Structure 1
Amino acid sequence: MPQSGQTWTTHEKLLEKHSVKIKKINEHLYELLVNPGFSIGQRALLILSESGNILWDCIPLLDEGLVEFINTKGGLKAIAFSHPHYYSNMKMWAETFNCTIYIHENDRQWVANGGDFIEYWPGNQLELWDQLKLHNIGGHFEGSSIIEIPWMSENGTLLIGDTMYLSPSMKHFATMRSYPNRIPLPLHEIRRIEKRFEEIQYDTIYGFYPYQNVNNNAKEIVRSSFAAYQ
């Protein structure tokens, strides 16, 4: 965030000078990014799955080219979120694709305008379809969550938003209450989150920035990252 603080715009104004850049990551995963960069530069991730596609997190721009692209891939069955910072214009997305929005019940208080599309889910885990699972991790927000895709890599893939933040070195994950304000989590909360990640099988992680792609050895990096907290 700039020193000048937040500023506001509309979807119509954003469409005047911005579009959505679509990048293929693998056969079942596409990156969606506002171009030129906008907000904090976060990406959304489109998961292509046999029984229905799911959008992981939202970007604040929905242009005609993106709508057409998603429809050619089978539309959306659902949208799921890592945490409230990416709710954005989720109602517009849900109306466009007539799909469900999955939000953890612990983050219900942060929803301003979701319409009738939202399904609040409770507990530690929600099984969707095609072995897709949402896991509530907490930490950054009480409802901070990740999605598990067991079949996307040899030992499973996680999309994590910024439930954890991968350093530019690609060698360390941090988890904090507030990343911009550098507010840490207490050690007991770090250990609880560590246990949650240890319970899940995975080797690949995709975060909220385009560079945050860790293939093959993600679990080892997560383990060494948690070991650094004393």
Structure 2
Amino acid sequence: MILFTDHRTICATCGTQYPSDVALPELCPICDDERQYIGDNGQTWTSLATLAKDRAIRFSQVSDRLYDLRITPAFAIGQRAFLILSESGNVLWDCLPFLDEPTIAFIRSLGGLKAIAISHPHYYSLMAEWARVFECPVYIHQSDAVWVQNHTSAIAFWSGERKSLWDGMEIINTGGHFPGSCVLLQPDSSGQTNLLTGDTIYVARSRRLVTFMYSYPNLIPLPKKAIEQIRDRMAGVSFDRIYGAFEGMVIAENGRSVFDASVQRYLSIFE
């Protein structure tokens, strides 16, 4: 059951929810970091009750085992999350800063959630509420623990470079955008493998390249060492399609070749 209270604990710029029983910070630390920004109107807060007046979550079926979820009208950063259907338990990849009863009913009709896995702190959003409703853990890399604002016992921090889930799914810590930034591998029923990237590996508008940034809104690139780490962490990983964090960000084929060419092009800048 969603508690549509008027506690204004959600940052209106990034969508991160803060606990209602402690004083809010003067500025959202996630937005005050140089990878994000404080909104044009300064620090503002909203609530689930306010958002529920005119927001909903739209589902689009990408394949027989994959749905993308987006808030409409768009709110905060505007990212999408992905619902991965799997025989041993469904996974939500990344999270949204809103949740309502129709969404809960729809996900439960497909088997609920066994886990939530999140690519990086910009998408922590309403993870505590989602985890409470679906009674599942939230997998976050230990390197990004400092960015958690709404602590919950549902958070399962993990460390190292890889975390195996089930049915062939695997989370890979690439670093880069944040030290704990991750991507997720998902085999689909066609025999191909999807790479869900958040914005750790960012699908360019042409869909013929991916790029890698320290800050996307502030246009701060990653240094050579960080790109080499991403390359090395992805060594030997096979994937066909790439799904990024925003609508239209899909590389539908030859994803591994696009990734390799993009890394080479990026590193050539430093030569």
> Which has the larger displacement, 23-32 or 154-163?
154-163
Contact 1:136 1:146 in 2 (8 A): yes
Could you tell me which of 74, 81, 86 is aligned with 2:123? 86
1:171 has 2:212 as partner = no
1:35 to 63, 69, 72: 72
Aligned counterpart for 2:105 among listed residues 63, 68, 72: 68
Q: Give me the whole-angstrom Cα distance separating, in 2, the residues matched to 1:143 and 1:186.
A: 16
How much does 1:6 deviate?
Answer: 5.0
Instruction: Report 1:19-34 matches (<5 A).
Output: 19-34=56-71
Give the alignment's TM-score, normalised by structure 2: 0.81
Paired amino acid for 2:244:
G
Counterpart of 1:197 in structure 2 is 234
How big is the shift at 1:166? 1.3
Q: Partner amino acid for 2:65?
A: H
Matches of 2:189 and 2:248, distance apart in 1: 18
1:228 aligned onto 2:265: yes
> Alignment length, in residue pairs?
230
TM-score (norm 1): 0.95
Name the aligned partner's letter for residue 75 of structure 2: F
Give the equivalent residue in structure 1 for 2:223. 186
Q: Is residue 153–residue 204 contact of structure 1 (8 Å, CA) maintained in 2?
A: no
Aligned in 2, Cα 1:49/1:78: closer, same or farther, shift over 3 Å?
same
Match of 2:19 in 1: none
Residue 110 of structure 1 is matched in structure 2 by: 147
Q: Distance in 2 between matches of 1:44 and 1:160?
A: 11
Deviation for aligned residue 1:155: 3.8
1:94 maps to a residue whose letter is: A
Following superposition, the deviation at residue 94 of structure 1 comes to: 0.5
Task: Find the partner of 2:251 among 211, 214, 229.
Answer: 214
Deviations 1:25-71 (A, max 9, x none): 11000111000111122101000000000000111111111000000
Following superposition, the deviation at residue 198 of structure 1 comes to 3.1
Partner of residue 77, structure 1 = 114
SS at match of 2:261: helix
Higher percent of residues as strand: 1
CA RMSD of aligned residues (A): 1.4
Letter in 2 for 1:44: A
- 2:195 partner amino acid: L
Report percent identity of matched pairs: 44
Whole-angstrom CA distance in 2 between matches of 1:196 and 1:95: 32
For 2:125, give the aligned amino acid.
Answer: S
Per-residue CA deviations over 1:3-42 (Å, capped at 9, x if unaligned) read: 4455321111001011111111110001110001111221
- Residue correspondence of structure 1 range 129-144 to structure 2 within 5 A: 129-144=166-181
**Residue 198 of structure 2: aligned partner:** 161
Change (3 A) 1:111 1:201: same
Q: Partner residue of 2:29?
A: none
Q: Secondary structure at the match of 2:53?
A: helix
Q: Is the 8 A contact 2:208 2:251 kept in 1?
A: no
In the TM superposition, what whole-angstrom CA distance separates every residue of 1:149-207 from its partner, at most 9, and x where no partner exists? 13455441111100011111111211111111111111122112122223211011111
Return the alpha-carbon distance in structure 1 between the equivalents of residues 40 and 203 of structure 2.
Answer: 23
